[in-house]
Amino acid sequence: MTISNRLGLHARPAARFARMASGFRSRVWLVRDGEAVDGKSILEVLTLACPKGTRLIIRASGPDAQLAVDTLCQLVTDSFGELD
């Protein structure tokens, strides 16, 4: 996945990501350059520091892992629904 919204994974997109991730029962990780953080934690997602153009891997394990990965990938692809 590549972060494509202008300001990168800043507060609002990080909030959307963490909130959406929290909706799944599976554990969700966001991985960049081999560093993995808890996708359900807005602070961990923020401190992963992903400016625009960052390449990320979304990983999940648990009962709804596939759905979680698909949904979250879609969120990133859609630039978090951000128009700016």
Partner 1 sequence: MAHPPENHRPTVLKGIGVSPGIVLGPVFHLNRDRLRYPRRRIEPAEVAPEQARFEDAVARAAANIEDLIQDLPEELREHSGILESQRLMLKDRMLYDRTLRIIEEEGVNAEWALEKALAHVRGLFRQIRDPYIRDRVEDVEYVSRQLLRLLTGQRETDIDEIDEPAIVVAHDLSPADTTRMRPDRILAFLTDVGSRTSHTAIMARSLGIPAVVGLENATGAIAPGEQVIVDGMTGEVIVGPDETMRRHFLERREKCIRQRLDFIHHSHLPAETRDGYRVKIKANIELLDEIPTVIEYGAEGIGLFRTEFLYLASRSLPSEDTLYRAYREVAERLAPYPVTIRTLDIGGDKFVSTVSLGDEINPALGLRATRLCLKEPKLFRTQLRAILRASVHGDVRILFPMISGHMEILAVKEHLEATREELRREGVPFRDDLPVGIMIEVPTAVTMADVLAREVDFFSIGTNDLIQYALAIDRVNEHVAHLYEPLHPGVLRLIRQATEAAHQAGIEVAMCGEMAGEATYVPVLLGMGLDELSMNALAIPRVKRMIRLSDQEACRRLAGDLLAASTAREVRERLADFLDQHYPGDFEAATDLYTALRAEDTAASTA
Strand 35-38 and strand 27-32: the pairing is: antiparallel
In the complex with partner 1, the residue whose CB is nearer, 36 or 66, is 36
CB of 67 to partner 1, least distance (A): 21
Please report the DSSP string for 3-48 in residue order.
Answer: --STT-S-HHHHHHHHHHHHTSSSEEEEEETTEEEETT-HHHHHHT
Q: Which of 50, 60, 68, 76 binds partner 1 (CB under 8 A)?
A: 50
Part in contact with partner 1 (CB under 8 A); list of ranges 23-31, 63-71, 76-84: 76-84
Q: Is 7 in the site for partner 1 (CB under 8 A)?
A: yes
